[in-house]
Amino acid sequence: MKILADSRINYSVEAYSQFGDVKLFELPLNLNLTREIDILIMRSDLRINSDLLTLCTPKFIGCPTVGTDHVDFDYLSKMGIGFSHAPGCNSDAVRDYVMSCILLLAVREKRKLREMKLGVVGVGKIGSAVAETASELGMEVLLNDPPRARLDQTFNSLPLDQLMDVDVLTLHVPLNPVGHDRTLYLFDQTRLRKLRHGTVLINASRGPVVSNVALASEIQRGRLKAVLDVWENEPRIDVELLKLVEIGTAHVAGQTVEARVRGAESVFKSCCQYLRVVPKWCFPERPSPIRIWPSGEKMELEEQLLQLVQKVYNIEQEDKMLRQLVYLPASKRIKHFYQLRRNNVHREFSSFRVEFTTKGTLADACQSLGFQVEFTVDRK
């Protein structure tokens, strides 16, 4: 077999070599490479449709990512092509990202988490992880997910209009362009204007869930603030909007080492099942946790948590790197965006062990964020 895999996907050569010859590609994809391939392993940057697959018909396509709005399922069914993705593989990663942003903004504005109200739109694996952590940290959490409520009568989904009076609103919905659960421009100008003055909108789902034009207008009016990890028309993002947001990143919220490996492993196992073969290669065990220590300085809880979080992932640095787009010529912006996505290789909070000498509020909060916590004898 001939296998073509995105070079960003972990362990592709090691895993798929049992099937045949593995070639790696980088974006933008040279369509000539897709000739006569049997397996295509790719991320969500490319649309899986007749345009991409004109030159070939692979037996199987794997996407070790969560969203599927880039996939033409009708076409895949028509051509008899197998497909797999990895829902939930990056739930901890996105949770870490959202909480990093909330902590940074809370410290900037000198606010306490227990005094803040969070709205979560889309309460699947990612939204649930965010909601649980925020609640454990003392935030009041309001949930909205009508599709989940229809499937689970025990789940209480508030009407979206009841989430308009929050301090932070975070979005974790799929991109549905049509239908009863349409999310394309779910937050258009009308809905954005319903949000309370000063609300921070976080979008780490899909860019077109929010009208970027309307959002820019509301930020310029001084009504809203925004954190954007996803943008309309990626990778050709609106640099004028980038100038306006509180935090801007290059679609990296789910791009941790652990999330990539989980996604790659899930798709590899699905490929083996599709081809009815036994995998001959096992993904490596998770490495031992990295130890870190609190500073010991007397600070507010939010400041202490932010300091620990930034030892793992400095969201401010990620923001600064994306803002370099503003100073680049248009011809170089796409490459810069892709480089930032590719080079984001930070670890999840759960890969770090925080050591304390005594139990207390900070230790409890670290556990809520997903850190491993260990109590040791005072070294003094």
Tens digit of pLDDT for each residue in 142-183?
999 999 999 999 999 999 999 999 999 999 999 999 999 999
Domain 2-85+256-275: homologous superfamily in CATH: NAD(P)-binding Rossmann-like Domain (3.40.50.720)
Q: Which CATH architecture has domain 91-248?
A: 3-Layer(aba) Sandwich (3.40)
CATH of domain 290-375: 3.30.1370.170
pLDDT the model gives residue 49: 87
Q: Within 13 Å, how many C-alpha atoms sit on residue 307's CB side? A: 15
pLDDT the model gives residue 345: 76
Strand runs (DSSP E) across 230-376, as ranges? Answer: 247-248, 290-292, 352-356, 372-375
**Which one is predicted more confidently, 289 or 84?**
84
pLDDT the model gives residue 287: 73
- Would you say 125 and 87 are in contact if contact means Cβ atoms under 8 Å apart? yes
CA–CA separation, 225 and 205 (whole Å): 17
**Which one is predicted more confidently, 297 or 206?**
206
Distances (CA, A) of 233 to 22, 236, 239, 242: 31, 5, 12, 13
Please give the order of strands across the beta sheet that includes 117-121. 140-144, 117-121, 168-171, 200-203, 225-228, 247-248
Q: Which residue has the tokens 């009076």?
A: 165
pLDDT the model gives residue 92: 96
pLDDT band at 65 (very low <50, low <70, confident <90, very high): confident
CA–CA separation, 211 and 195 (whole Å): 14
pLDDT band at 121 (very low <50, low <70, confident <90, very high): very high
CA–CA separation, 367 and 374 (whole Å): 10
Q: Which of 1-5, 30-34, 349-353 has the lowest mean pLDDT?
A: 30-34
Determine the average pLDDT of the residues in 27-56.
Answer: 82
Strand runs (DSSP E) across 36-77, as ranges? Answer: 39-41, 60-63
CA–CA separation, 252 and 167 (whole Å): 23
Q: Looking at residue 347, what DSSP letter applies?
A: P
Res 219 pLDDT > 90: yes
Instruction: Name the segment(s) of the chain with CATH classification 3.40.50.720.
Output: 2-85+256-275, 91-248
Which residues are identified as catalytic? 206, 234, 251
Res 314 pLDDT > 60: yes
Longest dimension (CA), the chain: 69
Query: Helix, strand, or coil here: 334?
Result: helix
CA–CA separation, 315 and 227 (whole Å): 11
pLDDT the model gives residue 91: 95
Res 131 pLDDT > 90: yes
Instruction: Report the chain's mean pLDDT, rounded to a whole number.
Output: 92
Q: What is the pTM of this model?
A: 0.91
Determine the average pLDDT of the residues in 228-236.
Answer: 95
Taking the alpha carbons at both ends of the chain, their separation in whole angstroms is 61
Residues 6+ apart with CB under 8 A from 222: none
Res 379 pLDDT > 60: no
pLDDT band at 342 (very low <50, low <70, confident <90, very high): confident
CA–CA separation, 238 and 214 (whole Å): 12
Q: What is the DSSP string of 143-160?
A: EE-HHHHHH-TT--PPPG
Determine the average pLDDT of the residues in 61-84.
Answer: 90
For the record, the structure tokens of 357 come out as 């000498």
Res 251 pLDDT > 70: yes
Instruction: Name the segment(s) of the chain with CATH classification 3.30.1370.170.
Output: 290-375
Counting every residue written for the chain, the total comes to: 380
**Which one is predicted more confidently, 46 or 103?**
103
pLDDT band at 378 (very low <50, low <70, confident <90, very high): low
Res 19 pLDDT > 70: yes
- Would you say 76 and 83 are in contact if contact means Cβ atoms under 8 Å apart? yes
